[in-house]
Chain A
């Protein structure tokens, strides 16, 4: 882990944004939005915290990882507002990596929360748009 990660505040601030890439197979063509299935990982929902970056920098960083069909963002305080837990969990190759957990007891998102995350997210990148 680089020393830069040590410069980030460990708790993610409510004002920060959390970015998530969406691939085409999880895009809901009928309603022109991501399916809530895109917010169901085995260990919570992996996201990148914005830290001190703007949209452009955060999007470019994510696009280096994979050719995403779309990228959306949600404010940390909004995710916490639906009862989700946001944890900063940096990886060797991604100092911004964080996870959204269902609760303090369970990492996996279930029931209404994935849909609420989707509905409160804002689309910030659409491929070739």
Chain B
């Protein structure tokens, strides 16, 4: 089994089981991510065609951008204590900032809310090369591992594309 096939199967199985779990969840506000799981399957299937177009399946991924926009919508709907640990509502300014930012990125990260009202962008290549960027109303904070070396610092929005793209180039 080649890597692409394996990836499709893994993603499909994960998405299918994820959907089943969500269907049985008691928290109705979490249902919005079911669609994300379905889209993940679509993304995995479409990876074949986009990889022939760009010779780089991750770059300019409209499918991942769509997933991220849907996830932002789900993040908008989070209520107080959404994570069971007094998770804070994500401020509209943060959502708007991330919405604008992801549309301008060459490579789409995954996005996740944090319990402290920020949104994290994750881009992962391997244990020695990854980027986590936390966007909050006041600052943007980067934690980067590049060839095994860790870097932590505040960055401007305009620097974020370079931090993520660096992983893939």
A36 to chain B, nearest CB (A): 6
The reply to whether B71 and A67 contact each other, CB–CB distance below 8 Å, is no
B100 to chain A, nearest CB (A): 20
Query: Main secondary structure on chain A at its contact with chain B?
Result: loop
Is there a chain B Cβ closer than 8 Å to A42's Cβ? yes
What's the tally of chain B residues with a CB closer than 8 Å to chain A? Answer: 47
Interface residue from A31, A42, A112, A127 paired with B115 (Cβ < 8 Å):
A42
The reply to whether A40 and B27 contact each other, CB–CB distance below 8 Å, is no
Per the bound structure, the CA–CA distance linking A41 and B115 in Å amounts to 4
Per the bound structure, the CA–CA distance linking A127 and B143 in Å amounts to 30
Per the bound structure, the CA–CA distance linking A38 and B114 in Å amounts to 6
B167 to chain A, nearest CB (A): 14
Total of A-B residue pairs, C-beta within 8 Å:
111
Is there a chain A Cβ closer than 8 Å to B60's Cβ? no
Question: Number of contact residues on A: which range applies?
Answer: 20 to 34
Is there a chain B Cβ closer than 8 Å to A25's Cβ? yes
Residue of B nearest to A67 (CB): B26
Residue of A nearest to B124 (CB): A31
- Chain A contact residues, CB within 8 Å of chain B: 21, 23-32, 35-38, 40-42, 46, 65-69, 108, 110-112, 115, 127-128
- Additional A-B contact list (15), CB under 8 Å, known A24-B30, A32-B14, A46-B85: A21-B85, A23-B27, A25-B78, A26-B112, A28-B110, A29-B14, A40-B120, A42-B86, A42-B115, A66-B84, A67-B25, A67-B26, A108-B116, A111-B141, A112-B152
What are 16 inter-chain pairs, A to B, with CB distance below 8 A?
Answer: A23-B30, A25-B75, A25-B82, A26-B112, A29-B11, A32-B14, A41-B115, A41-B116, A42-B115, A65-B84, A68-B84, A69-B25, A110-B152, A112-B143, A127-B24, A128-B20
